[in-house]
Structures are given as C-alpha cells and as structure tokens.
Structure 1
Amino acid sequence: MSTIKIEFFHDAVCGWCFVIAPRLYALKDEPGLEIRHRSFVLQMSRDAMVDRFGSMPHAKDTILHHWKGCAEAEDTKRINIEGMRRQTFEYPNGRLSALACQAAQMIGGDEGHGRLFDALQYAHLVDSRNIGDRQVVLDIAAEQGFCLKEFTQCFEADAPGMLQADIALGQRLNIRFTPTLVINGKWILSGAVSPDILRTSVEKARSTAEV
C-alpha cells in the first residue's frame, strides 16, 4: 500500500486549526499515513496584527468573533471564548509558538512538534494563557517534558531558520490560510474540512498514487 504524506500547515493562535487537528489525528492509524507538521504564521509581529486589524483591541474583538464559528464547528466542545475575553493581555500572534514548535521538531521530530503544538493550542483556546509571552511558551514546553536547557538552545539558535523554511515552503505552495493540508505534495485542502471530506481526499490521493 502506498504512503500518504499529509503536511499540516498551522498557526497555534488559529481556532480553525484547533478544530481540524482531532479530525486529522483520527486518521493517524491509517496504513502508510504520515503527518508532517509545518508552521505557517499569518501575523509575525504586533505591527502585523495592527496592520491587519487596525488596532490590538479590534484584533481581539474580531478574532473572538471568529472563535464563535470555530466553537460551533468543533466536534468536541472545548473553546473558551469568554475566558479569553476576560484576559487583559493583548491577543497574541503566533510567532513565539511557531519557534517553540520548531525547537520541538528538532528535538522530538513530528511527534514532539505535534505534542507541543496541541499543548500550545489548548493553553491558548481553552486555558486562556498568554502564548505571546516567551516565559509562558517555555513553561508549556517544560510541562510537555522537554529539557529547558536543550529546548531554549534550539529555540534561539535553530528554530528561526527552520520556521522561515516552513513559511517559504508554504509560500511556494501558494498557501494563504491556516489550516491547510497538503497531501502528497499536490492535493491541497484549506480550512477545517469535515471528517468525511478529509477521509475521502486521503482515499483519492492513495488511489492516484497506486495507479
């Protein structure tokens, strides 16, 4: 049976990534299926957030409105909109989390990357923690069992270049949104597609690969 490689382009602050991740992981036991995590940050800085939304307060209001759609769509209800609304910190961009995920990738491969990405998303969307704060991100990495000395070294030295490589790959594939799934380098699914569409797409990719 042919191998199916799914590249999951994601941003830790993206609610729709939180919706699709469990649907994707439900396929992980499919024969020959490999999930490759890729970081793709939509806004890399506070300035980019302001450019996109006009102001940081408006960014938070707009994004929490989007969260309502995510909360309605998720299969198991977890998203805590009011918890985030009560927080006084500015809505974070995904840069620090993406760097952390790249450090996790270097140390623990795709398993480590995925484990930390999921933990960062849960911290952000359920526990209302500030993943725009470097210490919070490092704390979450420690909670996931990473050695902080090794992790911090990778975070500072290797992760920036790895992140740029993921972003450059996404740009070459004309990715504009998260989540985006790329199946075998050519089948592209954007958004939090349904479990049925996801499974059907994998089956089509497999049948094409076997021809």
Structure 2
Amino acid sequence: MTRSLTIDFYHDVVCVWCFNISSRMRRLVSECDLDIRHRTFVLQDSEQAMAERWGTPDQARETILGHWAACRRASDHPEDINIDGMRQAGFDYPHGMVAALACKAAELISGHTGHWDMFDRLQHAHITEARNIADRDVVAGFAASIGYDRAAFVTLLDDPETARRVEADRQHARRFQVYSIPTLIVRETGTRLVNGPVEDLRAQLSFALRLAEQREGAV
C-alpha cells in the first residue's frame, strides 16, 4: 500500500469471532501500512446482564459454545478454540467488562499496541486456556505476565478514568452506528470490512485504499 489506512476495530475479549479476525488483522498489519485503533465493545458488562441476555449460567454456556463451534469451523486456528475446556470450566461463562478495563488500562500505559497485546493475551486465556477473565486477580496475573507492574495495573483497573474510556468507546460505537462485533471501519472512506479469510480482507483493504486515493486526488 502507498498510504496508511486508519481502522477502528470494535471488539470484546469474550467474542470468539473477534478472535478469528484479530489474528488475520495482525497478519495484514505486517503486510500493509495500517493504523489500528482499538475500541472496546462490551456485549454484557455484568452477571446480571449475562442472565438477562442468556438465561441461566448453564443456558448461557451451551448457547455461546454453539457459537464457538460455528466459529471454529471458520477459523484459521481451530485447535485454539477450546470448546471442551470452556464447557468443563468451574466458573460461569464470563462477561467482558473486566477484560475491557484491562485493555484500556494497557492502552493508557502503552497506547493501542498495548491494548492489542492485552486483548490478544486475554482472548487466548479465555478461548484457548479456559480461564475466567471476569476475575480481576486472573486478569492482573496476565497483565504481569506480559510485563506490567501488577500493583500499578490493578490501580488502573479501578481508576474511574479507565471506566470512562470504556464508556467513551461505547459512545463512539453509537455515533458510528456499530451494533455488533467484530466491526472494522476504515476512517478514510467509512468502509466496513466484512470478516472472512485473509485474502478477502486483503482485497477489501485494497479497494478501500483505491477509494481513499481517489477521494484524495479529487480534493
């Protein structure tokens, strides 16, 4: 690509479809000049919200793991989607708020690169390792494992500014009419990328680049 494209990437750590597309975008960033801006999009932010959306914990687990099965069939790395591990886990299927706060805490320290690294680490913990990412101690442990000072990170998790930034992402999503995830929007053109194989995403980015260059040339 001859110019940079800026992409807003809306995601939730508990979203297995986001797991698929994050690795694909990692590959494309290595090939193309892309500036990925990460936006938390929490599907359910509490145990109560989980119950309102999915019913009992057992109902939530089985319904969501049905989505995991569909996602695994479309995944580049199906072996990383550990359905049996999550089915046997000794905790209720987690909501995404604690993980979102962790991603924003990482962003406050290390920018969008830190956000993405934390997002991917927590997704791997959730989807591959069947860990409870709604548990603050678990999340703080993973933050420490990738180099953050644990005590300082926990302070940021509890900081109202971190929660404010999660809410700011929610408002940003509403402003751009984002209602589902994963959503990726090319800022220069307003193009929304459709999740699919890497070659499809690459073609979409090439189209968005040509459109951006045409608009730039018309100014």
**Which TM-score tier does this pair reach, normalised by the shorter chain?**
over 0.9
1:20 corresponds to: 21
2:178 corresponds to: 175
CA distance in 1, matches of 2:100, 2:7: 19
RMSD: 1.3
The SS at the match of 1:182 is strand
1:127 corresponds to: 129
The SS at the match of 2:29 is coil
> Following TM superposition, by how much is the alpha carbon of 1:205 offset from its aligned partner in structure 2, in angstroms?
1.3
CA distance in 1, matches of 2:183, 2:196: 10
2:76 corresponds to: 75
2:47 corresponds to: 46
CA distance in 2, matches of 1:36, 1:94: 19
Contact kept in structure 2, 1:183 and 1:205, CA below 8 Å: yes
Could you list the structure 1 runs, at least 4 aligned residues long, displaced by more than 3 angstroms after superposition: none
1:154 corresponds to: 156
CA distance in 1, matches of 2:28, 2:193: 15
> Following TM superposition, by how much is the alpha carbon of 1:31 offset from its aligned partner in structure 2, in angstroms?
4.3
Contact kept in structure 2, 1:2 and 1:209, CA below 8 Å: no
TM-score by length of 1: 0.95
The SS at the match of 2:168 is helix
CA deviations over 1:54-111 (Å, ceiling 9, x no partner): 2221111100111101111111221110011111200001000000000000001111
1:204 to 2:207 alignment: yes
CA distance in 1, matches of 2:198, 2:173: 23
> What are the ranges of 5 or more consecutive residues in structure 2 without an aligned counterpart?
215-219
Alignment of 1:134-145 (within 5 A): 134-145=136-147
Higher helix share: 2
> Following TM superposition, by how much is the alpha carbon of 1:32 offset from its aligned partner in structure 2, in angstroms?
2.8
Alignment of 1:181-196 (within 5 A): 181-184=184-187, 186-189=190-193, 192-196=195-199
The SS at the match of 1:26 is helix
1:59 corresponds to: 60
More displaced 10-residue stretch of structure 1: 154-163 or 95-104: 154-163
> Following TM superposition, by how much is the alpha carbon of 1:22 offset from its aligned partner in structure 2, in angstroms?
1.0
In the alignment, which of 83, 91, 94 is matched to residue 93 of structure 2? 91
Contact kept in structure 2, 1:184 and 1:205, CA below 8 Å: no
> Following TM superposition, by how much is the alpha carbon of 1:135 offset from its aligned partner in structure 2, in angstroms?
0.5
Paired residue type of 1:13 = V
Paired residue type of 1:59 = A
Work out which of the two has the higher radius of gyration on C-alpha atoms and give 1 or 2: 2
CA distance in 1, matches of 2:96, 2:168: 16
Paired residue type of 1:47 = Q
The SS at the match of 2:45 is coil
Paired residue type of 1:119 = R
TM-score by length of 2: 0.92
Paired residue type of 2:15 = C
The SS at the match of 1:174 is coil
CA distance in 2, matches of 1:19, 1:83: 18
Number of paired residues? 210
